[in-house]
Structure 1
Amino acid sequence: MSLSSQQIRHLRGLAHSLKVIVSLGTKGLTDSVVEEIDHALSRHELLKVRVNVGDREVRDEIIEEIIQRTEATLVQRVGHVATLFRQNPERPKVDVGKR
């Protein structure tokens, strides 16, 4: 899903008060973690994921893999925390406004 800068700004504001739902540790990105993120995206649509693995390049690669495998959109990344969005087509919860 392609989001406009205005939509991303709106989603960042909504995500500000959210807590991290999924944390990746030393074992990295496993299939079960991807499934948990996918389930959380279906339920919440907007969530934060903490990636406590390796250096910045490794974290970037892991975040990119999460985005590809879950078909989510990266809203923002601050340090170890990535904010992801994927709208549920059946029951949308988050209003992203106009494109």
Structure 2
Amino acid sequence: MKLRGKQKRFLRAQANHLQPIFAVGKEGLTQNWLAQLDGALDRRELIKVNILQNADVDTDELKSFIEDNTDIQVVQTIGRVLVLFKVSANKDLRELSDRVARI
């Protein structure tokens, strides 16, 4: 699903109260980390990822790594925090993506 402006604005509003549940640290970006991120997004559809101070990557590298290797979309970048969205593979957990599709 390619997000339009109004849909991104809705998702940013929904992510406002969320705390980052994933972090990128000194180990950097690995396929195992990406698989865990993908699994978490299947359950939640919208999460925040924090880049720690000791990480060797910046936000642009993280954004391109995520978008090139998965179908996860970066909704917003706030400093060292990224807001990510993905439609859940489980139809029972698609509450947020159904609301986004109606916008």
Give the aligned residue type for 2:10: H
Match of 2:100 in 1: 96
- Alignment of structure 1 residues 1-99 onto 2, 5 Å: 1-52=1-52, 53-54=55-56, 58-91=58-91, 92-94=94-96, 95-98=99-102
Deviations 1:48-75 (A, max 9, x none): 01122246xx331122111222211111
Mapped contact 2:42–2:89 kept (Cα < 8 A): no
How many pairs were matched up? 97
Q: Which runs of 4+ in 1 moved over 2 A?
A: 52-55
Percent identity reads: 33
Call closer, same or farther: CA 1:3–1:31 in 2, change over 3 Å: same
Give the aligned residue type for 1:48: K
Bigger helix share: 2
Q: Which runs of 5+ in 1 are unaligned?
A: none
Structure 2 distance, partners of 1:54, 1:29, is 9
Give secondary structure in 2 for the equivalent of 1:96: helix
Give secondary structure in 1 for the equivalent of 2:48: strand
Q: Which runs of 5+ in 2 are unaligned?
A: none
